Amino acid sequence: MAATELSAFAAEVAGCTKCRLAQGRTQVVFGVGDPSADLMFVGEAPGFHEDQQGKPFVGQAGKLLDKLLAGIGLEREQVYIANVLKCRPPGNRDPQPDEIEACEGHLFRQISLIEPTVVATLGNFATKLLSGKPTGITRVHGVEQEATLGGRRVLLYPLYHPAAALYTPAMLKVLEEDFRRLPDLLGRSPEEPEPSPAFVPLTAEPAVQLGLF
């Protein structure tokens, strides 16, 4: 049932014209993976290769994501991968607030249909949107928090974006360490998570850090 509903929703979103990005896209990049996955990854927005192929994370960052998944015994066919935005921003620029607002309903609908137990956010935009908090990824990566997404309780697990880790060995090491906790999180019920530290909203991070970390 989930696969059928998700396919129907993907066909509906393929013609979306809710924001300006529809004018310059090659195609909508809806998402890929297991329609009933326990683990869902949410990135920022499609890039050039994603726009061309219609699939998220197919460039260098995608290859790193595949490698990280393999490190914990998973393949991308066993998880679900999507982005906050379904269309590529011009020149891979940062998503604009009105674009996120126009597109977020698609993501929340995906989450409600897939019903994951863990949603791993990749980078700042996904983390801030789904946590509903302004705290940046550098402060909260690797620390799960309880959230209600798509009308159900999930464990939200912020991670650095693979694109940021590609060129920063220290960040890659942290990302690998954070990834290693995913199997344990998947074995925990999202309805009864372990207590997480309270997150105190901080001032916005410098603009240079908003994109990926």
Using DSSP's 3-state secondary structure scheme, residue 83 falls into strand
- The residue whose two tokens read 């402060």 is 139
Question: What pLDDT, in 10s, does the model give residues 56-109?
Answer: 999 999 999 999 999 999 999 999 999 999 999 999 999 999 999 999 999 999
Mean pLDDT, the chain, as a whole number? 89
Type of residue numbered 38: D
The pLDDT assigned to 213 comes to 42
The pLDDT assigned to 202 comes to 38
The pLDDT assigned to 4 comes to 93
Phi, psi of 14, rounded to the nearest 5 degrees: -55, -25
The pLDDT assigned to 151 comes to 85
Whether residue 38 contacts residue 149, with contact meaning beta carbons closer than 8 Å, is answered with no
The pLDDT assigned to 56 comes to 97
| Beta strand segments in the chain, E | 32-33, 39-43, 80-83, 118-122, 145-149, 152-159
The pLDDT assigned to 189 comes to 59
Residues of the chain with pLDDT under 70: 1, 189-213
The pLDDT assigned to 198 comes to 46
The pLDDT assigned to 208 comes to 36
Whether residue 39 contacts residue 122, with contact meaning beta carbons closer than 8 Å, is answered with no
Nearest C-alpha neighbor of 120 from the set 174, 67, 70, 156: 156
The pLDDT assigned to 209 comes to 36
CA pair distance 107, 104, nearest whole angstrom: 5
Q: How far is CA 60 from the centre of its chain?
A: 16
